[in-house]
Chains A and B, each alone.
Chain A
Amino acid sequence: MSILVDENSRVVVQGITGREGTFHTKQMLDYKTKVCAGVTPGKGGQKCEGVPVFNTVQEAVEKEGVNVSCIFVPPAFSGDAIMEAASADMEVIVCITEGIPILDMVKVAGFLRDKDSVLIGPNCPGIISPGKTKVGIMPGAIHRPGDMAIISRSGTLTYEVVDQLTRAGFGQSTCIGIGGDPIVGTDFIDHLRRFKEDPETRGVILIGEIGGTAEEEAAEYIQNEFNKPVIAFIAGQTAPPGRRMGHAGAIISGGQGKAEDKIKALQTRGITVAPNVATLGKTALEVMGKS
């Protein structure tokens, strides 16, 4: 099994005719992802990489029965694109776009509150269930089907970790990049709940970074409710204070947000924290044993 997306997911790419949209549509098709439709307003009726293009997501639903969206729309229009996908009842919305104004995301978060859509991102690499489907921009070739799950706030750092896992003999059930923005659609806990119920997932790698308190909250959830091994890594132990974290962001989280606080929160709850990203594969072997 896997969570959220699999070989039956029918994907629509919003912004399919843009440079990145087209490139990654081809990459997804090469991975055997069922990219059934694209959306670019004003370009309905065209084809892109052999995929039919529509003017609206609603039209793509009616003609192609899509249920998962992948968004490559420029930042100024991404908030609207996410809301369009949610209005068309997409089960999963993956927003790759980086640089969306935070107040647009405040609106999006409000809009999604009474919707059933699961938003992954924005500012994320997407989601992949290896061997089944990939919805996003991660390089497919480094993944193998298997029983380790990954939830990460980063993009490329996730590829690094996947690569090490694969080389160490661990495949992956589903890998999710939840996004690096201050406001994202889903957090660690949302996905940990799903992985808890997924019989094929044996363990989880959690990749966090400085800022916010998502890792601290995840640590508490894991201690209280999660029954599978978790290995965590926190990026930014040498990041200078005050540069990435907003001054007022630190007060909202009550002085939290530093890597050392997150590592401490995880370790005191019995969660293994990999000390060095270069040896994360090795740490996984120690915790999980041979797969």
Chain B
Amino acid sequence: MKLHEYQAKDIFGKSGIPVPNGQLVTAPDQATKAVQIINGPPWVIKAQVHAGGRGKGGGVKVAHYPYEVVTATETLLGKPLVTKQTGPDGVIVNQVLIEEGIEIDREFYLSMVVDRASARPTMVFSQAGGMEIEEVAAVSPELILKEHIDPAAGWMPHQARNLIYALDPVPSPGAIKTLISVMGNVYKVFMTLDCSMVEINPLVTTMTGSAVALDAKLIIDDNALFRQKELLQLDDPREKEPLELMAEKYDLNYIRLDGNIGAMVNGAGLAMATMDVIKLAGAEPANFLDVGGGASEEMITKGFEIILEDRRVKAILINIFGGILRCDVLARGVLAAAKKTDIRVPLIVRLEGTNVDEGRKILGNSGLRFLVAKDIAEAAELVAKQV
């Protein structure tokens, strides 16, 4: 679950990670008031959307006069913001964060993630702050420093020193002290809130030697939300694609894509491979839908309804290789959806695995019109013929 910058900064502020003074506004007249409370000039006006690439997309503005703050807020609020992560239509900006400008001495990159290979939380630090970190990794990987954390010991101060004293030039004693403190607190936030990522880019030090998180990105591990219930209220459904939101309610892994072949598959690997096969056959998938290993009849029904809801879909491919999900459950789920909604496009079904005979029988006796594919190659061919 992604958090907005202002939500992450709120958490940072309460966790000993300094952030600029700021205020969230949802209407231009609130900006007039905000500018009276927040130190400035300059002020920074930042669109609050989950998509990355905000800066280059025009979602971050600097103002030197109060009226500019209001104008900038008006320009952003209620309008779509297009970044390289949003697609051509962009996302609507519902909220804007107005902050005091900070006098920057140096900019850094700081993040924490779980490193897959070592299975340890890992602090990533770089003096190339403010740049996109993938770019730094590609051009000057030597500028990216990492410290793996022993889960039994936790984050240790020497690890912070390893990262900070490797900088050239070494920061002032005051800056070192605040950077060490920020790193320790990032680790605490990461562990306490079950994060899959904490990222501060840039983390800056000021002339007076304090460290401030100018940006904040926080992603919570969806698998841990059952024990982070108080964070659930920070979820912003407006940021999500409506069909994806619907899928989320039923624990379905659905991603909307640009094509017109709807696909329902069990298992992420097979779902990805099925997308690949559709494309190799000359068609384009309209979605990725993994109904999961242990899908219930109701989940199958909902998944099928979501595909039918997508008006661009010209044909539907169901590719199921039953394991933990039994083919009879799949068949009943599809039938339940078919009873509620008219299936107006060709349906191609490929079933194999656990309880396959029962599943085929249920579909065969249902009166539902569909094409049977004997294997994945035939399924893809049949699908491509429909569009």
Contacts and interface: CB of A to CB of B under 8 A. Distances in A.
B85 interface: yes
Contacts of B267: 154-157
Interface of B, secondary structure class, is mixed
A149 B270 CA distance: 19
B352 A102 contact: no
B197 interface: yes
Nearest to B253: A244
Contacts of A265: none
Interface in B280-309: 280, 285, 288, 292-294
Contacts of A213: 116-117
A238 to B, nearest CB: 5
Contacts of A209: 268-269, 272
Contacts, number: 199
A253 B117 CA distance: 9
Contacts of B292: 98
B279 interface: yes
B273 interface: yes
A67 B134 CA distance: 45
Nearest to B320: A156
A100 interface: yes
B272 A142 contact: no
A207 B268 CA distance: 13
A251 B114 contact: no
A248 B197 contact: yes
A251 B120 CA distance: 15
Interface string A97-115: 0111111111101100000
B277 interface: yes
A244 B7 CA distance: 23
A157 B270 contact: yes
B272 A278 contact: no
B138 to A, nearest CB: 6
A255 B138 contact: yes
Given A251-B144, A252-B124, A279 B377 contact: yes
Contact of B273 (A183, A212, A277): A277
Interface in B187-205: 191, 194, 196-197, 199
Contacts of A180: 268-269
Interface string B202-216: 000000000000000
Nearest to A105: B119
A238 B276 contact: yes
A238 B380 CA distance: 15
Contacts of A169: none
Given A98-B293, A110-B150, A243-B255, A277 B279 contact: no
Nearest to B268: A180
Contacts of A214: 116
Contacts of A106: 114, 119-121, 151
B14 to A, nearest CB: 20
A278 B277 contact: yes
B272 A102 contact: no
Contacts of A171: none
Contact of B276 (A75, A101, A212, A236): A236
Contact of A251 (B133, B191, B194): B133
Interface in A191-241: 207, 209-210, 212-214, 217, 233, 235-240
Given A235-B273, A236-B273, 5 more contacts: A102-B221, A109-B120, A183-B116, A238-B279, A239-B288
| 5 closest cross-chain pairs (CB), A and B | A154-B269, A156-B267, A157-B269, A109-B119, A278-B377
